[in-house]
Amino acid sequence: MQIDRFFHWLGEFLGDALRVVVDALSTLFAGLWVAIDRFFDGLARSLGVNPSLINLVVLVIGIWMLYRGIRALVRRAFVGGIIWLFLGLLVLGWLMR
């Protein structure tokens, strides 16, 4: 009888410990998801676009083009830099209208 109580207590203890860990991780990731969602929502609203996945992908592509243009200008590839900057500005301008 004594051994049955011990294993019952051990099972409850492990179950409670797992429950605490799962609840803590769930709370952490839920808070992280809310923070990421609010960041993208604020970013999209400040640019005047809808906070959709496609708009965010186009935004990343436009910023990447601007980065490539600046990088080309630093390497003294002026024609390529101007083309990349123009394309990046074209994409971002199209997105923000």
Query: What does the pLDDT profile of the chain (97 residues) look like in tens digits?
Result: 688 888 888 889 999 999 999 998 898 888 888 888 899 889 888 888 888 889 889 999 999 999 999 999 999 989 999 999 999 999 999 988 7
Q: How far apart are CA 28 and CA 38, in angstroms?
A: 16
> What DSSP string runs through 34-64?
HHHHHHHHHHHHHHTS---HHHHHHHHHHHH
pLDDT of residue 50: 85
Tokens of 32: 């992280």
Write down the pLDDT at residue 4.
Answer: 81
Return the percent helix, strand and coil in the chain, to nearest 5. 90, 0, 10
Residue ranges covered by each domain of the chain: 1-46, 48-96
